[in-house]
Amino acid sequence: MDDGPSNRDQGGRTGATVVVWTCNHCPYALGWHDRLERGGRDYGDRGVRFLAANSNDDERYPDDSLEAMRERVREEDWPFPYLHDESQQAAREWAAQTTPHVYVLDSDLQVRYEGAPDADHMDPALEAAWLRDALDEVLSGREVSRPETQPVGCSIKWKQ
């Protein structure tokens, strides 16, 4: 997977990792973006690494091209890397379905949460509650009380 654009280095050991499949054109991904970005900023100081990945077919969806991804990161000053999965292999291996599709991994890289950031992409007051709850539980060494929710968003645009 191409490293794609990144504005911050989050190297080193982490307490958790969040991987989010997203894109530049989907209203669901755009609706949740600011909440995910705030999560990346809020939890970065707590040892959580956030990664965003875009696996969409950029020939059919030019807004999801590597160049468009780079421009968006530059304009919005993302706090985490935005990876370009041109081959779509990573999305297939992770079984990512939608944009967004969120995964929370513990320090042993075991998936502890998978699904949507919260219950409604249109309600910013929810502040990615499902994601934040999972992170708080992982960071405190507890079992995740809600390990899976239905991912909601636009389907990943597979190459034909």
d(CA 135, CA 149): 14
Q: In this model, does residue 7 exceed pLDDT 50?
A: no
| CA triple 92-7-159, angle to 5 deg | 25
**Predicted local distance difference test score (pLDDT) of residue 144:** 98
Res. 6 pLDDT band, cuts 50 70 90: very low
Q: In this model, does residue 1 exceed pLDDT 70?
A: no
**Predicted local distance difference test score (pLDDT) of residue 14:** 64
**Predicted local distance difference test score (pLDDT) of residue 90:** 98
Q: What is the pLDDT of residues 110-149, one digit of tens each?
A: 999 999 999 999 999 999 999 999 999 999 999 999 999 9
**Predicted local distance difference test score (pLDDT) of residue 111:** 98
| Whole-structure pTM value | 0.90
Q: What is the pLDDT of residues 58-76, one digit of tens each?
A: 999 999 999 999 999 999 9
**Predicted local distance difference test score (pLDDT) of residue 8:** 39
Cα diameter, the chain: 43
| Residue 132, CA distances (Å) to 87, 88, 104, 155 in order | 30, 27, 10, 23
Q: What is the pLDDT of residues 8-64, one digit of tens each?
A: 334 445 689 999 999 999 999 999 999 999 999 999 999 999 999 999 999 999 999
**Predicted local distance difference test score (pLDDT) of residue 78:** 94
> Which of the four CATH numbers 3.40.50.1980, 3.40.30.10, 3.30.465.10, 2.60.120.10 does domain 16-155 have?
3.40.30.10
Q: Is there a cis peptide before residue 79, judged by omega within 30 degrees of 0? A: no
